[in-house]
Amino acid sequence: MNVILLGPPGCGKGTQAKRLEMASGLTQLSTGEMLRAAVAAGTEYGKMAKEVIDRGDLVSDDVVVAIIAERLDEADVAGGVILDGFPRNVAQARALDEMLEDKHLKLDTVVELSVDDDALVERITGRYTCDQCGKGYHDKFEQPKVDGVCDSCGGTAFSRRPDDTEETVRNRLSVYYEQTRPVIEYYRSKGVLQTIDGMVDIDDVTQQIKEVLKIH
Ligand code: AP5
Ligand code: MG
């Protein structure tokens, strides 16, 4: 099964993709995480991408399409993927259709997480991640069981993303409305779109997605 999680910055794509990975055997492919890894590694295109990501604009289609195309050829994704943060405009959606056809793969479902703008800003500005294992937390909505200690790996160092400032989040939201919203219509017209309520608790969102994807 190949699935897209679609929705604005902070709607819960990464949180839910990681939970679905555990529950289903599908592999999360997050273009945002792959780009941040390239930035951290200091590769040439990582250096170029950093400025764009820090502004909250989109990295060029050629770069992200190539990243996804390469990943889809690797053995660990044979069980199916959860695309998180890709595609982000109609050109990327068309490129994905072409690459899936070339690789004899099928897109099963696009799950749109619907969340109000004010909640998005609160979610993003309160978000932080374990440096060791990457598990995501939130100051208010998802705290570690023991303060300052990661539930998953016991790590004690955490970071916040440089693009999670309120100013950059506002730009990321306008980019979403201008460029990514049309992708929703693109998939609606293909009959593969399922919209779920992303305003409820994290567990309840997971439950809704599992029902849509028939994962038990
Ligand atoms: P990317 O990393 O994809 O960021 P994004 O789409 O802006 O989304 P986020 O990762 O911020 O949010 P999320 O939906 O994953 O939410 P999360 O689960 O963390 O992209 C970053 C940048 O890379 C882009 O701006 C662009 O520059 C570039 N890029 C990436 N892909 C690209 C592409 N295809 N083309 C071009 N450029 C690209 O949740 C947020 C917080 O809320 C967490 O703290 C979580 O604990 C909390 N939370 C989650 N769900 C709930 C809930 N139900 N209730 C309460 N709190 C919740
Ligand atoms: Mg994310």
- In this predicted model, what pLDDT tens digit does every residue of 147-170 receive, in sequence order? 999 999 999 999 999 999 989 999
Q: What are phi and psi of 194, to 5 degrees?
A: -125, 125
Classify residue 103 by burial, with Cβ atoms within 10 Å: 0-12, 13-18, 19+.
Answer: exposed
User: In this predicted structure, what is the pLDDT of residue 216?
Assistant: 84
Q: What are phi and psi of 113, to 5 degrees?
A: -100, 115
Q: Which ligand is nearest the CA of 176, by number?
A: 1
pLDDT at 48 exceeding the cut of 90: no
Q: How many A from CA of 7 to the centre of ligand 1?
A: 9
Q: How confident is the model at residue 84 (pLDDT cuts 50, 70, 90)?
A: very high
Q: Return the sign of the alpha-carbon dihedral for residues 9, 36, 58, 109.
A: negative
Contact residues of ligand 1, CB 6 A cut-off = 9-15, 31-32, 35, 52-53, 56-59, 64, 85-86, 88, 92, 123-124, 127, 136, 138, 141-142, 172, 198, 201-202, 205
* Confidence (pTM): 0.95
**Residue among 18, 88, 123, 135 flagged as catalytic:** 88
